[in-house]
Amino acid sequence: MVSRARDWLRQALRDLEHAKRSLEAGDYEWACFAAQQAAEKAVKALHQALGLEVWGRSVARMLESLPQEHRPPAELVERAKELDRHYMPTRYPNFHPEGAPMDYYTRGDAERAVEMAEAVVNFVRGKGLQA
């Protein structure tokens, strides 16, 4: 099977840039979602580079499922759990009791999400994977 690791990482980097632009535009819910996507795709890139198959959307779970010698520190996994929480509620009004997702996200939420996504991407790149 041909590795698509580079493609996954390239898209992760693009999603991270989108998250940053959304943050600056004040689209905080989209910044959080794009940050989650960037981290998810970066970790999928690492799995691909290692010749592993991975499914799902949970960044934390995918980090924990890496072989022992490639796992990140527990702190990064814990931070990834916050990113995982941005997968659904950032996009769907019916996830909230009332209002739209844009009513629930703040600049601080978006800044933390972008910072966490950058940490995940940097971890992946630290394993030698380049776009």
Interval 59-92: pLDDT, tens: 999 999 999 999 999 999 999 999 999 999 999 9
Reported as a pLDDT band with limits 50, 70 and 90, residue 129 is confident
Cα(4)–Cα(52) distance, integer angstroms = 11
Angle at which helix 74-84 crosses helix 28-49, to 10 degrees, equals 130
CATH for 5-126? Answer: 1.20.120.330
In 3D space, the residue among 26, 20, 36, 15 whose CA is nearest the CA of residue 90 turns out to be: 36
Return the percentage of the chain with pLDDT > 70, whole number.
99
Cα(66)–Cα(47) distance, integer angstroms = 7
Average pLDDT over residues 103-125: 98
Token pair, residue 101, equals: 């997702």
Reported as a pLDDT band with limits 50, 70 and 90, residue 131 is confident
Q: What are the domain boundaries of the chain?
A: 5-126
Cα(45)–Cα(34) distance, integer angstroms = 16
CA torsion angle for 71, 77, 79, 84 (degrees, to 10)? Answer: 120
